[in-house]
Amino acid sequence: MTQRNMTIPFDASPFNTLQNWFREAEASEPNDSTAACLSTIGLDGFPNSRMVLVRHITARGFTFFTNLGSQKSQELRANPSAALCFHWKSLRRQIRIRGTIEETTEDQADSYYHARPRENQIGAWASKQSEPLADRSILLERFEHYKNEFEEKNPPPTPIPRPPFWSGFCLVPRSIELWQDEEGRLHHRLLYTVTKDGWDSTLLYP
């Protein structure tokens, strides 16, 4: 398909454009260019949204990591339908992804966990994510407890084991919409939808 006055290329797959946009976002966004809003369906039937850092982006999907006891993990396990939204103000671009969730493998979770800064690894042990916290000092005490424990049992460079309650999820897309801001509010929207043969693309009114 050819189109006039296109600011988003009509490729057979959205991923060439995605990779280019993510590279440009990494260069232009001041903080966390991989941050995205993750939306899930709560156990009460109402939607929930929060920001996550998407750590791996491949043709298979979009992977992020979290505490498996967290609210989002419980919601994703109960209902694997979810959505992600990236928005980069510096580039005036947005990407919306809808799809279903798959859990990462143990090896994938281990690989990313051990690539994190050591303090972040300790923090994963210390946090009972989404549970009530009576006082912040309790969290800091838990952090110091695990820090001292691992300094003794797993001194650097010995790796800290990944907590059994910490892993990852991959959003496998069913649709991806690319949005580019344009003058006069004549924004450019290109929707990709998964088909049995690959991807189908549709230009949308703004």
Who's near 189: CB < 8 A, 6+ residues apart? 177, 178, 179, 203, 204, 205, 206
Check if the beta carbon of residue 38 is closer than 8 Å to that of residue 72. Answer: yes
The candidate with the shortest Cα–Cα distance to 67, out of 116, 109, 25, 5, is 109
> Rounded to whole angstroms, how far apart are CA atoms 194 and 99?
10
- Give the chain's end-to-end CA distance (angstroms, integer): 19
Query: If pLDDT is split at 50, 70 and 90, which confidence band does 35 have?
Result: very high
| CB neighbour list of residue 162: distance below 8 Å, 6 or more residues apart | 109, 110, 113, 114, 121, 124
Take residue 73 and report the two structure tokens written for it. 């993990």
Which residues are the active-site residues? 185
How many residues would you count in the chain? 206
pLDDT digits (tens, 9 = 90+) for 39-93: 999 999 999 999 999 999 999 999 999 999 999 999 999 999 999 999 999 999 9
Query: Do strands 198-204 and 188-195 pair parallel, antiparallel, or not at all (unpaired)?
Result: antiparallel
**Which two three-digit tokens encode residue 19?**
């990779």
47 - beta bridge partners?
Answer: 41
How large is the average pLDDT for residues 173-178? 99
Please give the pLDDT value at position 187. 96
CA distance 167 to 66: 6
CA distance linking residue 205 with residue 92, whole number of Å: 17
pLDDT in tens, 5-34: 557 888 999 999 999 999 999 999 999 999
Percent of the chain with pLDDT over 70: 97
CATH architecture of 15-116+164-204: Roll (2.30)
3-state class of 34 per DSSP? coil
Neighbour-count burial of 113, counting CB atoms closer than 10 A to its CB (0-12 exposed, 13-18 middle, 19+ buried)? buried
173 phi and psi angles, rounded to 5 deg:
-75, 140
Say how far apart CA 130 and CA 145 lie, in whole Å. Answer: 20
Contact 34, 54 (CB under 8 A): yes
- Report, as an integer, the average pLDDT of 163-169: 99
